[in-house]
């Protein structure tokens, strides 16, 4: 090691070690091998990311309908939802969403596996409560747009 190399670290109050010199040498070699263009410049924008959306999108279920009645044993309201299956043959199920306000925001109530099942029973509701439902078709993590919304009001008394 040259005398100049040993003096520089001592002037900074550091103890010269072999590892430090190897790390510095490695960084210098990488930066000289890659050149300045590998590090870019500050303020430069990253290259634009291009994405395409497939024309094969999930079709939303249609014909959402609901009926309200009371559970026989507990005497609480329940909502029966029915819809027409999605026309997307690659869909693998549905998600049922509910809100207490027209237009949402909606919360996930149930996930249904298989597109042949086109009904859902929502139990444990509050007497006199108003509920708004939408259904979405699913394929893995992909979902369709919302179905049309249906609103129902549970009876105030179940006898």
Q: How high is the pLDDT of residue 8?
A: 52
Strand partners, 132: 99, 151
Q: For residue 15, give its domain range.
A: 3-38
Residue carrying the six token digits 């609480």: 76
Q: How high is the pLDDT of residue 157?
A: 86
Residues 76 and 109 in one domain: yes
- Contact present, 136 and 145 (Cβ < 8 Å): yes
pLDDT values of the chain reduced to their tens digit, one per residue, 159 residues:
555 555 555 555 545 454 445 444 444 444 444 444 444 445 666 666 544 445 468 999 999 999 998 877 778 899 999 999 999 999 999 999 999 999 999 999 999 999 999 999 999 899 999 999 999 999 999 999 999 999 999 998 887
Q: How far is CA 82 from the centre of its chain?
A: 26
pTM: 0.64
Give the C-alpha separation, 97 to 105, whole Å. 9
Q: How high is the pLDDT of residue 94?
A: 97
Q: How high is the pLDDT of residue 48?
A: 63
- Could you tell me which of 9, 6, 90, 25 has the C-alpha nearest to residue 56? 90
For the chain, the domain total comes to: 2
With respect to residue 53, please indicate whether it lies within any of the assigned structural domains.
no
- Could you tell me which of 75, 72, 82 has the C-alpha nearest to residue 125? 75
Q: How high is the pLDDT of residue 43?
A: 60
Residues 67 and 108 in one domain: yes
CB burial class (10 A; 0-12, 13-18, 19+) of residue 121? exposed
Q: How high is the pLDDT of residue 33?
A: 44
* Residues contacting 146, CB < 8 A, separation 6+: 60, 97, 106, 134, 135, 136
Residues 31 and 68 in one domain: no
- Contact present, 58 and 115 (Cβ < 8 Å): no
Q: How high is the pLDDT of residue 100?
A: 97
Q: What is the CATH number of the domain that holds 85?
A: 2.60.40.10
Residues 80 and 29 in one domain: no
């Amino acid at each position: 090691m040259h005398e100049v190399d040993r003096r520089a670290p001592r002037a900074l109050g550091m103890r010269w070690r072999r590892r430090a010199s190897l790390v510095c040498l490695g960084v210098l070699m990488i930066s000289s091998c890659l050149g300045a263009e590998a590090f870019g410049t500050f303020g430069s924008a990253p290259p634009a990311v291009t994405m395409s959306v497939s024309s094969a999108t999930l079709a939303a279920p249609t014909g959402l309908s609901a009926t309200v009645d009371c559970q026989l044993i507990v005497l609480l309201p329940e909502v029966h939802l029915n819809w027409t299956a999605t026309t997307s043959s690659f869909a693998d199920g549905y998600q049922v969403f509910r809100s207490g306000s027209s237009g949402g925001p909606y919360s996930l109530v149930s996930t249904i596996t298989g597109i042949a099942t086109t009904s859902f029973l929502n139990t444990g509701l509050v007497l006199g409560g108003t509920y708004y439902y939408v259904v979405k078709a699913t394929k893995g993590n992909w979902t369709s747009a919302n179905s049309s919304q249906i609103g129902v009001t549970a009876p105030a008394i179940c006898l």
